[in-house]
Structure 1
Amino acid sequence: MVGTMLWFRLLALILLACFITASFKKSLGQERVFTIGVVPQFTPVEIYERWGPLVKELENRTGLKFELKTYKSIPEFEKAFLKGELDFVFMNPYHQVMAYKAQKYIPLVRDKTPLTGILVVRRDSPVKEVKDLNGKVIAFPAPNAFAASLYMRALLTEQFKIKFIPEYVKTHDNVYRQVILGKAQAGGGVNNTFLRQPEEVKRELRVLYETPPSAPHPFSVHPRVPKEVRDKVKKAILYMANERNMKALLDRVQMPNPVPADYARDYKPLEKLNLEKYVVLE
């Protein structure tokens, strides 16, 4: 009888130990697949090509599992992070403001090079200055693409005092091609996406205007993700920055030189731009 009770106690201790171990692993995210969403500046296929290698590298370095999520349009992407559906997100600077207000997303890392919005025209365009675009069609990726559209439209309206016809064409790639094809007299983009265009695209365009610089796109995390997991991912990306063979991989995701990000320092100042009246939620 005593032997039977000891056996049951031993079995109970073993089961308890297994439960505690499983719970600990789960708390560290070792049994969970974390989602990573990327702002659709490019097509879903190109986003997979650019981000797939980084996601794989993060899995190898952290022991965590990730699922890369892509979206066909920026409004679709916005709905996802505003609802808190994504664990990690690469988003534009004003998206970070929106995400912080809605879900308290925390910026982990960003590139050290400032982001600049650009207004491009065809290289042979008669347009010489911004005021020449009064009444013209201007292509933008989406209403809330920060430097390419949101901030740009505010500056065109309030600083340059021009009226224009906005055309929203979903991606930065589409913006540049709309201008080349003559379907829009100008287009809003950013320095990062323009520099990554094929040479045959860049040589057909010229930059007419650049916005004041801001902190670039952050790679952010939802606060529900355990701190241990956040720290693992952040450290992994920052360690990559010190490895020469990782430079090309990081450059593909627009973070060639990642540094720690801070909401109060990097993104809270954008709240003072009063861009709310230019935000469009679909």
Structure 2
Amino acid sequence: MPQLPPAELYSRWRPLLQQLGVRAGICFDPVVPTTIPVFEKQLEKGSYAYAFLNPYHQLMVQQRYQPLVRDGKALLKGILVVRDDSDIIELAQLANRAIAFPSPNAFAASLLIRAHLHALRIPFKPDYLKTHSNVYRAVAIQQVAAGGGVNNTLAREPRELRSVLRVLYTTPGYPAHPFSARRDLPPAETDRLIQAWLTLGRDPTAAPLLHAVQMPKPVESNQLRDYQPLEALQLQRLVDATDPSG
């Protein structure tokens, strides 16, 4: 899932997939889509054997993909950031202001935040910038008043950038992104892969690889327990099928 620039995502995932492949007997060919909308279209087609999804995407393609593992260390939370020197101290001050998001369908960085703003009847002008990194930089250069992201991606930005940003709002927490498999894959293969993830999670030397892909503590995932409850949020009403980010 393209939360970050393609080259950075590839460099983070490739060494981990090599380790998982050796342990599970699978030869991975990493593919990094250029944008979230492109990623969604390929998911709906079942183009990927395996995919790293956000929770909403997992709910969206649950008939085609099953979650295998997710991070068990921390819940996923969306954040809304402003410049540290901004006079904005409460959400109401964002009324009719421009707010950047990576994509309409980004789960915590967009859907959850927009749902909360709508519930509070705070009008705003969304600006979709394709990646979390673009959002943070747009806030830093005052292109927008605020921007949506997630705690994990902000923590991975350079210290110089983080020092000029301030978290204005944090959403409730939800189970993190799953690493999922197409449901038509052999159960023996997906079981080996789950065990490979869990084994790496117990290996201290693999910690840097797991941290790089936001999976510091992989645990086995379950659709009914982890992601089915999201249906109650009715996020579908906020999804933009035309997605102006491309």
**Partner in structure 1 of residue 167 of structure 2:** 207
Higher-helix-fraction structure = 1
Aligned match of 2:19: 57
1:108 maps to which residue?
68
Describe how 1:154-233 pairs up with structure 2 within 5 A: 154-158=115-119, 160-233=120-193
Where does residue 40 of structure 2 map in the other structure? 78
Distance 2:71 2:24 in 1: 21
Residue 251 of structure 1 corresponds to which residue in structure 2? Answer: 211
**What is the CA-CA distance between 1:281 and the residue it aligns to?**
1.9
Structure 1 residue 63: Cα displacement: 2.1
**Residue deviations 1:75-105 (CA, integer Å, cap 9, x gap):** 000001111111111010101000114x2x1
Query: Which protein has the larger Cα radius of gyration, Structure 1 or Structure 2?
Result: 1
List, as ranges, runs of 4+ consecutive aligned residues in structure 1 with deviation greater than 3 Å.
none
- SS at structure 1 position matched to 2:61: helix
Match status 1:118 vs 2:96: no
* Distance in 2 (alpha carbons) for counterparts of 1:64 and 1:100: 23
Greater Cα offset, 211-220 or 58-67:
58-67
CA distance in 1, matches of 2:195, 2:133: 32
- Quote the offset at 1:57 in angstroms: 0.6
Amino acid across the alignment from 2:4? F
- Quick one: distance in 2 between partners of 1:222 and 1:49? 24
**Cα distance in structure 2, aligned partners of 1:281 and 1:215:** 24
1:264 corresponds to: 224
Aligned residue identity for 1:150: L
Q: Distance in 2 between matches of 1:137 and 1:72?
A: 24
Q: Give the equivalent residue in structure 2 for 1:136.
A: 97
Deviation at residue 154 of structure 1 after TM alignment: 0.9
Between the two structures, name the one with larger relative contact order (CA 8 Å, sep ≥ 6). Answer: 2
The residue type paired with residue 32 of structure 2 is T
Q: What are structure 2's unaligned runs of at least 5 residues?
A: none
CA distance in 2, matches of 1:64, 1:136: 48
CA distance in 1, matches of 2:25, 2:189: 10
Which one-letter code corresponds to 1:250 in the other structure? L
Give the letter aligned to residue 36 of structure 2: I
Distance, in Å, in 2 between the alignment partners of 1:143 and 1:267 is 19
* Number of residue pairs the alignment of both structures matches: 241
SS in 2 for 1:201: helix
Task: Report the AA paired with residue 54 of structure 1.
Answer: L
Partner of 1:69: helix, strand, or coil? coil
1:200, distance to aligned residue in structure 2 (A): 0.8
Offset of residue 275 of structure 1 = 1.0
Q: Distance in 2 between matches of 1:68 and 1:268?
A: 28
Residue 150 (str. 1) matches residue 150 (str. 2): no
Report the TM-score, using the length of structure 2 for normalisation.
0.96
State the shift of 1:180 in Å. 0.2
- Taking structure 1 as the reference length, the TM-score comes to 0.84
Q: CA RMSD in A?
A: 0.8
1:232 counterpart SS class = helix
Identity of aligned residues (%): 47
Q: Which amino acid aligns with 2:187?
A: K
Mapped partners of 1:252, 1:49: distance in 2: 9
- Give per-residue Cα distances to partners, 1:159-210, cap 9 Å, x unaligned: x210000000000000000000100100000011111111111111000000
C-alpha offsets along residues 204-227 of structure 1, whole Å, 9 cap, x if unaligned?
A: 100000011101100000011110
Question: Residue type matched to 2:92 in 1?
Answer: K
Give the Å deviation of 1:258: 0.8
